[in-house]
């Protein structure tokens, strides 16, 4: 048991190091995209399923409330939280439409989207990304090693170099924290 515990932490740390080395420049570029969107008065929309849905809520909360510094709230909406909207769309249309309808209702040209899918193949995520492209939203994909079908539809893709869902999700949340910290730094510390 001790060995399993140690291996999980070591594996997670190794993947984080590799991910940071391979994505630092892209993280800077995406930070700039988010900062410019906020300066223009645009917003951040987030969607995903299961654990990724929970990550969307977590990330949106960091932007709307605060992260590490005291600052004004930033406009971020997790499209995973309104059970009445999600269940009505799922019931009246199809589960694959739950994010599409919300994107069409809330999305505006210049908004930024963070789409999270560990496989990159979730039908409702792919449909929502397609809707985002039509509305001229910038699409940031957080996914696993291949990026699946969502990869080719995204403007920026952060692919975690593993197929292990728990490790992928661990990287997604640290990436989101780094993005939030960098956005705060750029917007409010004069960098």
pLDDT at 10 over 80: yes
Q: pLDDT of 136-150, one tens digit each? A: 999 999 999 899 999
pLDDT classification of 190: cutoffs 50, 70, 90 = low
pLDDT at 191: 53
> For residue 14, what is the domain's CATH number?
3.40.50.10490
pLDDT at 3 over 60: yes
pTM: 0.95
Q: pLDDT of 12-24, one tens digit each? A: 999 999 999 999 9
Q: pLDDT of 51-60, one tens digit each? A: 999 999 999 9
Q: How far apart are CA 86 and CA 67, in angstroms?
A: 28
Q: How far apart are the first and last CA of the chain?
A: 46
Q: How far apart are CA 170 and CA 147, in angstroms?
A: 16
Mean pLDDT calculated for residue range 32-41: 98
Q: Return the structure tokens found at 51.
A: 């654990």
Q: How far apart are CA 107 and CA 176, in angstroms?
A: 20
Q: pLDDT of 65-123, one tens digit each? A: 999 999 999 999 999 999 999 999 999 999 999 999 999 999 999 999 999 999 999 99
pLDDT classification of 189: cutoffs 50, 70, 90 = confident
Instruction: Tally the domains of the chain.
Output: 1
pLDDT at 74: 98
pLDDT at 50: 97
- DSSP sequence for 59-84: HHHHHHT-SSS------EEETT--HH
User: What Cα–Cα distance (Å) separates residue 124 from each residue in 89, 103, 139, 159?
Assistant: 12, 12, 15, 19
Q: Which of 137, 130, 133 is nearest to 33 (CA)?
A: 137
Beta strands in 5-161 (DSSP E): 44-48, 76-78, 112-117, 138-143, 156-159
Q: How far apart are CA 90 and CA 171, in angstroms?
A: 30
Q: pLDDT of 142-179, one tens digit each? A: 999 899 999 999 999 999 999 999 999 999 999 999 99
Strand 138-143 and strand 44-48: the pairing is unpaired
pLDDT at 44: 98
Residue 112 structural domain = 2-188
């Amino acid at each position: 048991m001790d060995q399993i515990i140690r291996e999980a932490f070591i594996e997670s740390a190794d993947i984080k190091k590799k991910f940071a080395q391979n994505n630092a420049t892209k993280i800077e570029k995406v930070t700039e995209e988010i900062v410019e969107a906020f300066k223009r008065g645009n917003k951040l929309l987030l969607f995903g399923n299961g654990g990724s849905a929970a990550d969307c809520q977590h990330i949106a909360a960091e932007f709307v409330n605060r992260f590490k510094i005291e600052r004004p709230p930033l406009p971020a909406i997790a499209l995973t939280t309104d059970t009445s909207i999600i269940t009505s769309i799922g019931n009246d249309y199809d589960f694959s439409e739950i994010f599409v309808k919300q994107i069409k209702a809330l999305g505006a040209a210049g908004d930024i989207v963070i789409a999270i899918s560990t496989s990159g193949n979730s039908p409702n995520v792919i449909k929502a990304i397609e809707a985002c492209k039509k509305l001229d939203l910038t699409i940031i994909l957080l996914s696993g090693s291949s990026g699946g079908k969502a990869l080719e539809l995204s403007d920026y893709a952060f692919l975690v170099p593993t197929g292990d869902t728990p490790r992928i999700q661990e990287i997604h949340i640290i990436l989101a924290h780094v993005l939030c910290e960098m956005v705060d730094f750029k917007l409010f510390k004069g960098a």
